[in-house]
A and B are shown apart, each in its own frame.
Chain A
Amino acid sequence: MRAFAELLERLVYTRSRNAKLKLIGDYLRSAPDPDRGWALAALTGELSLPGVKAGVIRQMVTERVDPDLFAMSYDYVGDLAETVALIWPAPPDAVLDAKPEALSLGETVERLSRLTRLDAPAALSAMLDRLDASERYAVLKLATGGMRVGVSARLAKTAFAQAVDLPVEDVEEVWHGIDAPYPALFAWGAGDGKRPDARGLPVFRPFMLAQPLEGEADLSDYAAEWKWDGVRVQLVRAGGQTRLYSRAGDDITGSFPEVAEAFLREGVADGELLVRGAGQGADAHGGAAASFNALQQRLNRKTVTKKMLAEHPAFVRLYDLLIDGERDVRTRPWTERRARLEAFAEGLDPERFDVSRLITAKDFDDLARLREGARESAIEGVMLKRRDSEYVAGRKAGLWYKWKRDPLTADCVLMYAQRGHGKRSSFYSDYTFGAWDSEGGLLPVGKAYFGFTDEELAWLDKFVRANTVGRFGPVREVEKTLVLEVAFDSIHESTRHKSGLSMRFPRIARIRTDKPAAEADRVETLKALIV
């Protein structure tokens, strides 16, 4: 238990991703079985201990501590496990006298998993009495789930993959077919077991991703499609169950029930989740869809209301087919998968699914001309896919390219700056900028924290410090004199800023010390760019 508690303790205070990977990797290499498997389950959020819930923990602690003092403490600390770990009073002498035996993580999980709601308070109390504050925190975190140590499931899997020298995509792929504490996974990682099999299970497969296009492509080798601005999803149906996964491999089935219910063919497909509307594209592009803004109403919802389903009905524009029925076709060329996809889609509800249309272009120049019109049609850009490419996980050179439309730019005035994180914690690196309104005042239109070089960052940081006119906690307000050329993909109506505007992917393109602030753009001009 000590080693796992120490791991959590160190993860809490570590900000760098690489340092986190190393901490977890070191632990997974050195901890014995089954401890390391349970640790991996806890970090990936797969550990479930139904007998020990928050209610049980509250009941247990208020038997030892004044309930009002506990409530005040919980209110201050804000985390149940941490509050209880810190507040837990020294046990009666009798318990201390009985030499505490060191429980391993595996034994702890095993004991916790046998507890029922009835016997949990007493058993957990006895366990906490034998631990120090940091071990108590670890045990309570195991029980309540949600480690809150700044480690995503994906990061934990990456740490495992790196520790055993396997591609993380392979680990992702077998992940949903294995159970904690993952003996098969560790055996495979150590080289003395075969790869676990996920057939017949609705598991996530890693996505194939595109690189930005630089230069040209020969259309006899590459097929072109429109690039839709929605959420990339994977649809999986196996063994009679359907799941929707996000690009990170998170299960988002619950947020889009109407899509999941309609995906009734066995297989795995890749596509773009969109909602019906007229914000982007038109019939000529294979059907219009609403803007990303409309889709946002549907994202990150645990429960979906009937109203939401009616106002923003979702559908998926299919891009690719990974598994056709039971047949894994990922190693087949794109042309074959595309033909299979078209046949596959025939059997699906057209209300919920269509196939991304291919662009007919004579040659690359012709395609470039079509792309020129993308902004007017409110389409994000085009995709190029190598006709003979296999479906491979990750972003592999030469196979898929994204060719976004050229960004829009605006000259804005720097208004506020905030310090960054990690290596940037001493730099003012997050910038809020504004445009002029009709009364001659500045209204914030966006916020950007990348696009500049290290030298430009140092310059901007110096500017902020030398021109501060107000401080609000971590935020500094600056003299409204500096013009920044901001590049962004598109601009939308939004309630986030007072200007009623919000930008997609804003970044600092140039520092315009040559331009007086009065000549920066006006809110009206930016509003005209909304499509």
Chain B
Amino acid sequence: MTALGSWVHAHPDGIHIPDGDFWIDPSAPRDRALVTHGHADHARGGHGAVLATPETLDIMECRYGPQSGQPVRYGETLRLGGVDVRFVPAGHILGSAQIVMEKDGERVVVSGDYKRRPDPTCPPFEPVPCDVFVTEATFALPVFRHPDAADEARKLIAAARANPDRCVLAGAYALGKAQRLILELRSAGWDRPIHIHGALQRLCDLYRAHGIDLGDLRPVADAKKADLKGEIVLCPPSALNDRWSRRLPDPITAMASGWMRVRQRARQRNVELPLVISDHADWDELTATVTELDPEELWVTHGRDDALVHWRRSQQKKARALHLSGLEDEDD
């Protein structure tokens, strides 16, 4: 008897399915790539053909230009070689999908990046029972427990209201995190304009084109310094301490990231107002998901694979690390 999932080959630069003649999230150009979601560490340019959700393809075109691709809707089944393939929601960002593969009665789910908490910008993670569950482990240490994102958004609003002579500058990943944060701010009652760094503009426009209402967004470049007092400004994390921020009135530096849970990490980045908001599953979500799906084998792509594999094995279940490279997420 062959080993479970022996038709799924993990390489440092992606997951290869020879029988279906395709790769999942390859980091080098391939003839046929299945892409779980639009973040740059999963979706690279230069592939021959890209199979992804329509939203993910749009994101890739926005970043890399036209793609020769095939949109695949959630739930639609394709047959690639001898493998049945289906994309189901992962709850990570707009268009994010898990890739469910079946061959000879074995089901392998590559979940990409995912979370279990509600996110108004994408449908929730759909648990699919399987023989092999391939998971990420970005926040797989029991110190990572993300609080309610709505409370974090309220902190941001409170800081803006308490400092009428300053502005609050929040760093947020340009794809996904920024738009989710905007919606959290809206539902927490912030209906003033939100000012955004130029690097966020096109992705916000794209979200809008997909029917997500982000309210009144304005480019920072158009505002006078004095007019930004008491306002909320969003930028990519890399711009937080850049000279771009000198145009702002004495900004309070905030950052929306799961890493903000650890004080010294926030201090290292000169953050004054840490917002623990992540698009990745935290420790409880990861362990609850694995427990719920209870796969024969757990394969861990990247992150704290040591901790997650240790935890799973301590329950006398099979687990192993795939050691995929290039997937570290320092800014989420």
Contacts and interface: CB of A to CB of B under 8 A. Distances in A.
Interface of A: 12-15, 65-66, 68-70, 72-73, 76-79, 82-83, 86-87, 89, 419, 421, 425-427, 461, 465
A461 B263 contact: no
A82 B242 contact: no
B314 A66 contact: yes
Q: Ordered nearest first, which 5 A-B pairs have the shortest CB separation?
A: A86-B143, A73-B143, A13-B272, A73-B141, A425-B241
A239 to B, nearest CB: 42
Interface in B179-215: none
Contacts of B304: 72, 76
B141 A76 contact: yes
Contacts, number: 68
Contacts of B262: 76-77, 82, 86
A214 B263 CA distance: 46
Chain B: interface size category: 20 to 34
A72 B141 contact: yes
28 contacts: A12-B263, A13-B266, A13-B271, A13-B273, A13-B274, A66-B310, A69-B311, A73-B143, A73-B307, A76-B262, A76-B304, A77-B262, A78-B264, A79-B263, A82-B262, A82-B263, A82-B264, A83-B143, A86-B142, A86-B261, A86-B262, A421-B270, A425-B270, A426-B241, A426-B242, A426-B243, A426-B245, A465-B243
A26 to B, nearest CB: 13
B272 A72 contact: no
Interface in B295-328: 304, 306-307, 310-311, 314
Nearest to B272: A13
B142 A68 contact: no
A419 B269 CA distance: 12
A315 B262 CA distance: 45
B136 to A, nearest CB: 17
Given A68-B310, A70-B142, A86-B144, 20 more contacts: A12-B263, A13-B266, A13-B271, A13-B273, A14-B272, A15-B270, A65-B142, A66-B314, A69-B307, A72-B304, A72-B307, A76-B304, A77-B264, A78-B264, A82-B264, A83-B143, A86-B143, A421-B270, A426-B241, A427-B243
Given A69-B307, A69-B310, A13 B267 contact: yes
B218 interface: no
A30 to B, nearest CB: 17
Contacts of B264: 77-79, 82
Central interface residue in A14, A77, A89, A461, by most chain B CB within 10 Å:
A77
A308 to B, nearest CB: 33
Contacts of A72: 141, 304, 306-307, 310
Contacts of B246: 426
Contacts of A66: 310-311, 314
B318 to A, nearest CB: 18
B143 A76 contact: yes
A89 B272 CA distance: 27
Contacts of B306: 72
Central interface residue in B243, B263, B274, B310, by most chain A CB within 10 Å:
B263
A426 to B, nearest CB: 5
B262 to A, nearest CB: 6
B296 to A, nearest CB: 23
A427 B242 CA distance: 8
Contacts of A73: 141-143, 307
Nearest to B141: A73
B16 interface: no
B145 interface: yes
A460 to B, nearest CB: 13
Central interface residue in B142, B144, B145, by most chain A CB within 10 Å:
B142
Contacts of A77: 143, 262, 264
A82 B141 CA distance: 14
Contacts of A83: 143
B267 A69 contact: no
Contacts of A13: 263, 266-267, 271-274
Contacts of B274: 13
Nearest to B266: A13
B330 to A, nearest CB: 12
B315 to A, nearest CB: 11
Contacts of A465: 243
Nearest to A83: B143
Contacts of A65: 142
Contacts of A427: 243
Interface string B259-298: 0011110110011111000000000000000000000000
Nearest to A133: B145
A244 to B, nearest CB: 33
Nearest to B265: A77
Contacts of A69: 141-142, 307, 310-311
A80 to B, nearest CB: 12
A425 B144 CA distance: 28
A139 to B, nearest CB: 15
A68 B307 CA distance: 8
A432 to B, nearest CB: 20
A120 B234 CA distance: 46
Nearest to A75: B141
A419 B245 CA distance: 14
B329 to A, nearest CB: 15
Nearest to B243: A426
Nearest to A462: B243
A49 B283 CA distance: 33
A475 to B, nearest CB: 14
A402 B145 CA distance: 56
A238 B244 CA distance: 58
B308 to A, nearest CB: 10
A112 B261 CA distance: 27
Contacts of A419: 241
Nearest to A8: B263
A313 B261 CA distance: 48
A419 B243 CA distance: 11
A30 B267 CA distance: 27
Contacts of A78: 264
Contacts of B245: 426
A76 B143 CA distance: 9
A244 B270 CA distance: 36
Nearest to A78: B264
Contacts of B271: 13
